[in-house]
Amino acid sequence: MTTEAKQPKRQTRERLVAERAAQEAAKRRKDNLVRGGIAALVIVLVVGVGLIFILTHKSTVATGSAAPAGVTATHGYPTGAVAKPVIDIYEDFQCPICEQYETNLGQHIESLATTGKASVVYHMLTFLDRSDTGAADTLKSSTRSANAGACAQNQGKFLAFHDVVYANQPTEGVGYTDAQLIAFGQKAGVPDMSTFTTCVKNQTYLGFLSVVSGEADTRQVSGTPTFFVDGKMLNFSSAKSFIGVQQILDAAVSAAA
């Protein structure tokens, strides 16, 4: 075969190799863009919006159920003495995004109450129960931990219990045992541990928790955490960090004061 005959074949192979390399490079760029877009979306959802959209059905409400001491008309646990503005926060003790908010904003939110800038009312929801997975002693951890929060509220220790639970939150779905919840109560300084222990084990406030969930339905709460200031639901979708979330919250509080 002559050199002239070999040359076009060599050029064809080189052209095919170059085209394949270009195609692979383009695919890598596309994959990187997709991954980058997904990462950006996750950041916006987790940090900006900060919601896990879970509630897809109306709650069954046990009307006339016993409530722990000191709850508000909207069935939340109040902190702070001022009449307004009022910050309502809907959470779930198993919610990992709630834990992130607590870690990054919890002290600031509590300071709004202690400095008289706002009252803060906490509402504990129960929709992250894992009734079909996990160990037997950690099933329905959202319900059991929310009930334990009500037991702590009945002894004036809800906020301390709230903070201890989030400081010890396990991986989502792992859940809490009753023994852990009782230990959290002791660490939170619950004065009558015998009564608290009985309340936790008997799930005394299950009916009340259904009332809280029904109130959340009425207010169109579709995920956690959800914030209201004087009855107006806040939208954190424009925030790119927890600093941005704090700025939106503070602006809403100032406007309502």
Task: Note the pLDDT tens digit of each residue in 203-240.
Answer: 999 999 999 999 999 999 999 999 999 999 999 999 99
Integer angstrom CA distances of residue 102 from 66, 117, 149, 165, 245: 28, 19, 16, 11, 12
Predicted confidence at residue 172, as pLDDT, reads: 77
Q: Is the peptide bond before 68 cis (omega within 30 degrees of 0)?
A: no
Predicted confidence at residue 13, as pLDDT, reads: 54
Query: 3-class DSSP state for residue 120?
Result: strand
Predicted confidence at residue 63, as pLDDT, reads: 60
Predicted confidence at residue 174, as pLDDT, reads: 87
CA-based end-to-end distance of the chain: 92
Q: Tell me the one-letter amino acid at 177.
A: T
Which residue ranges of the chain lie beneath pLDDT 50?
A: 1-6, 26-27, 29-49, 52-57
Predicted confidence at residue 40, as pLDDT, reads: 38
Integer angstrom CA distances of residue 114 from 81, 92, 111, 243: 8, 23, 5, 20
Predicted confidence at residue 20, as pLDDT, reads: 55
Residue position matching structure tokens 């002290």:
107
Reading the block at residue 130, the tokens are: 């894992």
